[in-house]
Structure 1
Amino acid sequence: MSRKARSAGMIFRFWSHMAIMLIIGLPDAAHTQDYPFVGFQEASVPNGNEPALHAGIWYPTLARPQETSLETFTQEVAPGGAIVGQTLPLIVISHGGGGSLASHYDTALALAHAGFVVAAVDHAGDTFGDQRQVLKPWRRPQQLSRLITFVLEAWQDRDRVDPRRIGAFGFSNGGFAVLVAAGGKPDLALIDPYCHDHPAHDLCSALRSAGVSSVAALPVPSDAWRQDDRIKAVAVAAPAFGFTFSAGGLNHVTVPVQLWRAADDRHQPDPWYDEAVRAALPLPPELHVVAGAGHYDFLAPCSAALAKLAPIICIDPNGFDRAEFHRLMNAQLIHFFRSKLK
């Protein structure tokens, strides 16, 4: 046999060996494997004495996908397809104020393709169809914890989830919820002086529109800010109420944090939100400042139907390429959660 043939044979055997190892699993293969398709299920999550929460769950599958409607979006998923993989990490998603479980569906799809189980919930009382409880922000982290409990204890494929590897992603009000769930303790009494100094900011104008002159009298429960020790890493985009975490409010957030800021965020302007969170964290976060991005660019790229219904969250007047940004952001989220949830 010629040297060239022997060399070709060695190369073939090397790659054959690598392919076999990928199939049977390298020591960390379950943490880094990509999957061709995504399954999707809707679920009802127990919510104490209130009606059940509506949730969506994305996960790896080998079942063939189809175009499936999700609110105003269309996603390529296999509804009810059989899950594939073992000891899969879990990521829970908390949407922004007035949003829904579909708000970050593209990120959920990307994470599920990367081998994560992803669960998102409609936050009762703070969705596009019901904002009657928006002034009770402590409800959101409680609902997020109930979602985790459901996936770990009641979901039909709970035995496929690794309870030691749980992360959370949140945007705006969801970013606040994720920080609280990770150990943050905000001081809502700081909202009144903030609005006195910044009456034109979105939060303050929204409070006035709702007829709220002061939040100091809000009946905050004694156990409002409860940490969920099951969460081991968090990614936070444009977190709401960032300034309320001053004076040690984030001292107990010791899990890894990935923090995203839109450089052109006119709804939650710097330095009172993202920068306030960065400064209050006891450990430096992995910080991403996105040039040219506005507040709503962290939402999934809009469908034509959504752009017609809610142009304010869909139109990028500065020409920012939201679709390309999401490809990059989702890749960074996958890398972060893979590296931190080992």
Structure 2
Amino acid sequence: MKSLKLAVLSAVATLAMTLSTTCVHAAGFQHGFAADPNGKPLEIGIWYPSQAAPKSMSMGATTMSVAFNGAVEGHALPLVVMSHGTGGSFLEHYDTAIALADAGYVVAAVTHTGDNYADKSRSVYIMDRPRQMSRVIDHMLSSWDGRATIDSARVGMFGFSAGGFTTLASIGGLADFSKVGPMCHEHPADFVCQLMAKTGQAGIALPDTSLAQDHRIKAAVVAAPALGFTLSPDGLKNVKIPVQLWRAGDDTILPHPRYAEAVRQALPEAPDYQVVSKAGHFDFLPPCSAALANIAPAICKSDPGFDRVAFHQTFNSSVVDFFGKNLKRN
């Protein structure tokens, strides 16, 4: 697990996720920051519909065909905010962000302060994250220069792994972190247990959770959620919005049934539940370039017979379709 985690952090630290698919339409892109009164400004990447000519843009070893700072096209556009996994960055799901932008969405993905590729000092302070996501929504609706193009009544959220838990907390989930200790005693190899052991923490740091829910979020996509067991049996009773929930069939990082399945059982309304046969945890990340595969093979290697490229075409299409059905204009 330690070597796997180091590989993941090394990969994200170099921002080496290389665009592996070609978009049908250009997406505009901006790189910026959202103010956070409780901490450092939050780094964000913003993708959106644009008719400006796309060009190849590199950030580190990441290359995207986007219209950098191109004008936003459209009006009353839905907004989707994105939360990455532990040690990630705003680029973690760039291909899904581009697919949504191509479909007419504004997408804002954050690099979580204190839990990213360059700064892991607050990785166990997972309840920092929902507050940070609310600050990103605030920025997009109140400060972003394209804010007039956004329909504030149509806000969705996407999260993977720790970002999946972040999403669930942001839509009303109340975790019971007292379950972490007993679970780690029984399953010490689980990722959260390894993370706490590495940081010397005896449990998940828990600030006030009463302000975690953001009622502006109207639909959510959750992929391979961390800490799912802390939300059962009734920690999700306050979730009143549609949820699309994804589980990797062969997830060894967040093993079945303690995570996604626990979330499925706890949701008061049945989610759009998708189980991806033969997929591993990291198959929810974009297909790897040859360069990334050399740097971090652990996050790039899929099980025999699993086609990550084909899966992401299906995955991105399903995410776009889900938000299309659940973030309709009033």
Counterpart-to-counterpart distance in 2, 1:122 and 1:53: 7
Query: Is 1:205 the counterpart of 2:183 in the alignment?
Result: no
The corresponding residue for 1:341 is 327
Deviation of the 1:35 alpha carbon = 8.2
Q: Which runs of 4+ in 1 moved over 4 A?
A: none
Matches within 5 A, 1:62-73: 62-73=51-62
Query: Is 1:268 the counterpart of 2:254 in the alignment?
Result: yes
Farther-moved stretch of structure 1 (34-43 vs 151-160): 34-43
Matches within 5 A, 1:53-132: 53-132=42-121
- Percentage identity across aligned positions? 48
SS at match of 1:47: coil
Counterpart-to-counterpart distance in 2, 1:141 and 1:88: 23
Matches within 5 A, 1:163-312: 163-212=152-201, 214-215=202-203, 218=205, 220-223=206-209, 226-312=212-298
Output the amino acid matched with 1:257: V
SS at match of 1:332: helix
Deviation of the 1:246 alpha carbon = 1.5
Asked if the contact 2:278–2:303 (Cα under 8 Å) also holds between the matched residues in 1, the reply is no
Counterpart-to-counterpart distance in 2, 1:224 and 1:173: 19
Asked if the contact 2:280–2:303 (Cα under 8 Å) also holds between the matched residues in 1, the reply is no
Counterpart-to-counterpart distance in 1, 2:186 and 2:60: 39
Deviation of the 1:224 alpha carbon = 5.5
SS at match of 1:124: coil
SS at match of 2:217: coil
Counterpart-to-counterpart distance in 2, 1:222 and 1:74: 40
Output the amino acid matched with 1:322: R
SS at match of 1:264: coil
What are the ranges of 5 or more consecutive residues in structure 2 without an aligned counterpart? 1-22
1:214-263: CA deviation from partner (whole Å, max 9, x where unpaired) = 217x4x22246521000000000000000000131000111000000000
Query: Is 1:322 the counterpart of 2:308 in the alignment?
Result: yes
1:274-314: CA deviation from partner (whole Å, max 9, x where unpaired) = 00000000000001000110000001112333222222111
Output the amino acid matched with 1:41: Q
Normalising by structure 2, we get a TM-score of 0.90
Deviation of the 1:48 alpha carbon = 1.2
Output the amino acid matched with 1:203: V
The corresponding residue for 1:50 is 39
Farther-moved stretch of structure 1 (249-258 vs 311-320): 311-320
Deviation of the 1:147 alpha carbon = 0.4
1:15-61: CA deviation from partner (whole Å, max 9, x where unpaired) = xxxxxxxxxxxxxxxxxxx9832100011110114221110100001
Counterpart-to-counterpart distance in 1, 2:304 and 2:87: 24
The corresponding residue for 1:162 is 151
Output the amino acid matched with 2:67: A
Asked if the contact 1:39–1:82 (Cα under 8 Å) also holds between the matched residues in 2, the reply is yes
The corresponding residue for 2:127 is 138
SS at match of 1:111: helix
1:151-180: CA deviation from partner (whole Å, max 9, x where unpaired) = 000000100000000000100000000000
SS at match of 2:253: coil
SS at match of 1:93: strand
Structure 2 CA distance for partners of 1:201 and 1:36, relative to 1, 3 Å: closer
Asked if the contact 1:73–1:303 (Cα under 8 Å) also holds between the matched residues in 2, the reply is no
Deviation of the 1:206 alpha carbon = 2.7
Asked if the contact 2:174–2:209 (Cα under 8 Å) also holds between the matched residues in 1, the reply is no
Asked which structure has the greater RCO (Cα within 8 Å, sep 6+), the reply is 2
What are the ranges of 5 or more consecutive residues in structure 1 without an aligned counterpart? 1-33
Q: C-alpha root-mean-square deviation of aligned residues, in Å?
A: 1.5
The corresponding residue for 1:15 is none
Normalising by structure 1, we get a TM-score of 0.87
1:48-95: CA deviation from partner (whole Å, max 9, x where unpaired) = 142211101000011110111134321110000011101000001101
Counterpart-to-counterpart distance in 2, 1:301 and 1:315: 10
Output the amino acid matched with 1:215: G
